[in-house]
Amino acid sequence: MKRKTFFTLIIMAFVLSFFVTPVGYWGKIWLMRVFASPPDIIKVEDRQQIDGYDWKLKDANWDLFNFNESKGKVLFVHFWASWNTPSAAELKGIQELYDRYSNQVDFYLITNEEREPVEEFMAKNKYTFPVTYRIVGEDAPVKIPKIQGTYIIDKNGAIAVYAEEPHDWDNNTVTQLLDSLSNTP
């Protein structure tokens, strides 16, 4: 076999591995993380208010609670699904943000999946952020994205960030925003 043919086969096998093996899954996640940018911050004068805080959700123990427990606090609300590759790519940065800001910001990482696949995903990836389960059909104070989306909401209920595409959440843009929102009375 010629050397050129051998290298061509190696490259083809590598590219094919992205489609049919776990290497591809982790490769896609890595690429999404590398190319993720910080989210756009909405100008203060353009921020819209959420539609209140009355929203029933379930915690990790499947107990009901109300979103209004977070009224007057800075909120990080992220919709995700364990089976969605872009969602999985964002969660590492969100975990790092949670580790740094969990005492200043209320985090809601919301999914509408069943508990078992979510718990398995969380354990496999060693994530410790709190999982919140959405009750399908329950009215929400924000627009529910199709699969993933993120809101950062200030203490007065104004939306400072809204993004449906994957972003890098553990960066200076977001940390400066959270510091600013947390220190505002």
Q: Is the pLDDT of residue 20 over 70?
A: no
Q: What is the pLDDT of residue 32?
A: 79
Residue intervals in the chain for CATH 3.40.30.10: 38-183
- Pick among 3.40.30.10, 1.10.3720.10, 3.40.190.10, 3.40.190.290: CATH of 38-183: 3.40.30.10
Residue 169 CA to residue 176 CA, distance in Å, equals 11
pTM (2 decimals)?
Answer: 0.86
Q: What is the mean pLDDT of residues 169-184?
A: 94
pLDDT higher than 90, residue 14: no
Q: What is the phi-psi region of residue 72: left when phi exceeds 0, alpha when psi lies from -120 to 50, beta otherwise?
A: left
Reported as a single tens digit per residue, the pLDDT across 112-164 is: 999 999 999 999 999 999 999 999 889 999 999 988 999 999 999 999 999 99
Residue 58's pLDDT is 96
